Amino acid sequence: MTVEPEPDLRIGRVLKAHGVKGALRVELLTDFPDRFAPGREMVVGGRRLRVARSEELQGSVLVTFEGISDRTAAEPLAGAYVTVPLAEARALPADHYYHFQLVGLTVFDTRQARQLGRVAEVLSYAANDVLRVTDGDREVLIPMIRSVVRSIAPAEGMIIVDLPEEAQT
């Protein structure tokens, strides 16, 4: 019997090297920017690294890691995800979910009384997140707003929605 490794939680994505001293501009994929505080460890592009310095910059963070001391060492990390073990996921308030908790859930529309498919991914937009639900070659985009998403039950593998008529396919 093989045991699947626990998936990692993505907390950032390296956008590019910054300057000549090995700093990286990282897009935040977490609501907890303190995850990038000096001394914190994370995996970047398959390498376990420790934060030496960090500074928040308009939705991103400028990070310098121990052992990455020049632009040449930093550039290969561009595009890499910054991850921590899933066990380090912080508890969220009630009715809030990590995207990975929603992917794979079955979506049921009460208005049409039918299953729409499974969540393939969660798209992030400024106004609200959007569920991309697929069923074979059919795709439905569902806004994550209270008037549409009625309940989310990860333990039951289900999301209940009430799609307006104009959104139905």
Do 39 and 75 sit in the same domain of this protein? yes
CA 103 to CA 123: how far, in whole Å?
A: 11
Q: Is 169 helix (H, G, I), strand (E, B) or coil?
A: coil
Model pLDDT for residues 93-107, shown as the tens digit of each residue = 888 888 888 999 999
For 49-62, b/e burial (b = at least 16 CB within 10 A) is bebbebeeeeebbb
CA 15 to CA 80: how far, in whole Å?
A: 8
Q: Is the dihedral of CA 132, 133, 134, 138 positive or negative?
A: negative
Q: At 107, which CATH number?
A: 2.30.30.240
CA 102 to CA 118: how far, in whole Å?
A: 9
Boundaries of domain holding 65: 8-87
Model pLDDT for residues 124-163, shown as the tens digit of each residue = 888 899 999 999 899 999 999 999 999 999 889 999 999 8
Do 13 and 80 sit in the same domain of this protein? yes
Q: At 19, which CATH number?
A: 2.40.30.60
Supply the pTM of this predicted model: 0.69
Do 18 and 47 sit in the same domain of this protein? yes
The total domain count for the chain is 2
Nearest to 19, CA basis, from 79, 64, 51? 64
94 inside domain = no
3 inside domain = no
35 inside domain = yes
125 inside domain = yes
Nearest to 80, CA basis, from 136, 164, 152, 17? 17
CA 54 to CA 72: how far, in whole Å?
A: 19
Q: Express as a percent the part of the chain with pLDDT over 90.
A: 63
92 inside domain = no
Model pLDDT for residues 24-53, shown as the tens digit of each residue = 999 998 888 999 999 999 999 889 999 999
